[in-house]
Amino acid sequence: MRVTLLGTGDTTGTPTVGCDCDTCQRARDPGDDLREQARTQGATITPAGGVERTRFSVHVHNDRTGESLLVDFSPDFRHQFLREGVTLPDAGIITHIHFDHLDGLGNCFRLFDHLDVYAANETDPVTDRSVAGTVAADYEYLDQIAVHPQSPLETFEACGFEVTLVPVDHPPLLCYGLAIEEPDTGAKLSISGDTSYDVPDSSRSVLADPDLLLADAIVPAHLCEYHPLGGAHHDSDGVARTFGTKHMTREGALALAEDLGAARTRLVHLAHYYPAEEAFEQPLALDGEQYSI
């Protein structure tokens, strides 16, 4: 299993358009030390010499079957695939209907003759539709797409992988993490999805013991003081593991990784609000990182 991090940023990405904060400026002109760090961890150096965190997407290649699975369709789809040179996916998964995880699906026009797209079939009380139903309705004009509704916590096959969608906590909408396993080798990738630290125990059981965990870590915990709702799910030392209600803090993501027994963890869905001196520390991911598990 070869995992390529196409997009590791949050809804605005880093650098953010029109932003001249220290973190965005450092991303545009990272300096030799950060460029070398990025090269060492397999991240992409842009033609302008900067580093990026575009909107979230993960490319998972099955070395056994030669197929590729895409988790979430970033609005940066075109840029990500041209930049990384990975193969177009044979199938895709949508974790939830926020635009930064879904709107890249429109790129399927003229690129695919057929694409199987998997999403949860659970009806969201807010939208009165499931993720699968929303995808099917919003992209009904794309004849190339075949949407396959899937029941959460039930394993299905995609691109030779065993895949399980798991409910997580991303109010007000339903959202899902997932586990992707290669049945021949036992390799396992777990993705938290966009979530608070309040991941249900049944979902944690499915996500447990991954070779690689990609965990939502939008900001460090000390920034919770700037959120109107503060932080939540505090640990015994009072450190917030959730920023507001919808995303884990860095500390929450690392706590989840420890709870799950992850062999390796990369933090994703990162905002440009990280202070510049923290924004590129390990284990915060950058676009282009690639892992064989």
Residue-level pLDDT at 14: 98
Q: Where are the alpha helices (DSSP H) in the chain?
A: 22-28, 31-40, 77-84, 99-102, 131-138, 201-207, 250-260
Residue-level pLDDT at 219: 98
Which pTM does this prediction carry?
A: 0.98
Residue-level pLDDT at 218: 98
Residue-level pLDDT at 264: 98
Residue-level pLDDT at 291: 98
Chain centre to alpha carbon of residue 156: 20
- Among candidate residues 108, 119, 93, the one with its CA nearest the CA of residue 141: 108
Residue 33 — φ and ψ, nearest 5°? -65, -45
Other Cβ atoms within 10 Å of 130 Cβ, number: 20
What is the percentage of the chain residues whose pLDDT exceeds 70? 100
What distance in Å separates the CA atoms of residue 163 and residue 94, rounded to the nearest whole number? Answer: 12
Counting as low any pLDDT under 50, the low residues of the chain are none
Residue-level pLDDT at 82: 97
* Residues ≥6 apart with Cβ < 8 Å to 34: 26, 51, 280
Residue-level pLDDT at 267: 98
DSSP 107-150: GGTTT-S-EEEEEE-PPBTTTTB-HHHHHHHHTTT-TTEEEEEE
* CA dihedral over 83, 210, 198, 151, signed as positive or negative: positive
Cross-sheet strand order for the sheet of 68-71 = 145-150, 115-120, 91-93, 68-71, 57-61, 2-7, 290-292
* Residues ≥6 apart with Cβ < 8 Å to 160: 62, 64, 65, 67, 182, 183
Residue-level pLDDT at 167: 98
Residue-level pLDDT at 247: 98
Residue 92 tokens, joined:
């895709």
Residue-level pLDDT at 63: 95
Residue-level pLDDT at 64: 96
| Paired residues of 216 in beta bridges | 268
What distance in Å separates the CA atoms of residue 225 and residue 230, rounded to the nearest whole number? Answer: 5
What distance in Å separates the CA atoms of residue 123 and residue 134, rounded to the nearest whole number? Answer: 10
- Among candidate residues 94, 106, 80, 253, the one with its CA nearest the CA of residue 165: 94
Residue-level pLDDT at 81: 97
- Among candidate residues 257, 246, 288, the one with its CA nearest the CA of residue 11: 246
